[in-house]
Amino acid sequence: MSTSAAGGITKWHSKDGQFHRQVSSFRSFVEARPDAPFPAEAGRYHLYVSYACPWAHRTLIVRKLKGLESLISVSVVHYLLGPNGWEFASPEEVPGATLDDVNGAKYIREVYFKAEPEYSARFTVPVLWDKKKNTIVSNESSEIIRMLNTAFDEIIEPEYRGINFYPDELKEQIDDINSWIYDTVNNGVYKSGFATAQSAYEQNCRALFESLERIEGILASN
């Protein structure tokens, strides 16, 4: 989920009433190799998330299932998207939220500007932050969960090393299913909910429910 650097914070639609998601700007990878630009290390990386954002949910889920909670710290923004974008708050102010104890930011936008002072796109969560290089590794949730899935296997507890959510023998099938689930379901709820034209709403809502029926069929036969 995102907020914009220029223009309206919640202006996600185009003139045709369609919701258009921006392409994530930070696309580096944490790797197991010690000589990698972003090597897997305990305590080096930090996740910025919102409990109101489904894209952030999956990074928290994989972090939990892979036993990474002691290796990768987390900050949680206010659940309400305000006029200045995602804001940090204390647990006393907003249950479940946290202050930013890594960069001391008041808004997530400040984290983006620290990584890239000329940044001009939307300020999205989740964000994977490198505490050593003081920069954003990635703000693409699908790639963050792939990193969490394998990059830290050398340093996590042995009981988690055999857990693989993207095994080689299923990658082709996973990628095929993900291609239409992403477009019509994950992003489809946004394209339906943020549509500002009836035709855009009907088009995307119809595709959403067709895909839900398709998913129901897959689950029923497996």
Residue numbers annotated as active site: 53
Which of 99, 119, 103 has its CA nearest to residue 111? 103
Token pair for residue 185? 């379901």
Residue 220: in which H helix or E strand, if any? helix 198-220
**Sign of the CA dihedral with 88 first, then 89, 94, and 95 last:** positive
**Across 44-188, where does the E strand assignment appear?**
45-49, 73-76, 127-130, 135-138
**Across 10-117, where does the E strand assignment appear?**
45-49, 73-76
Sheet of strand 45-49, all strands in order from the earlier edge strand to the far edge: 73-76, 45-49, 127-130, 135-138
**Across 112-216, where does the E strand assignment appear?**
127-130, 135-138
Which residue is listed with tokens 């379901």? 185
Are the C-beta atoms of residues 156 and 149 closer than 8 Å to each other?
no
Token pair for residue 149? 């899935």
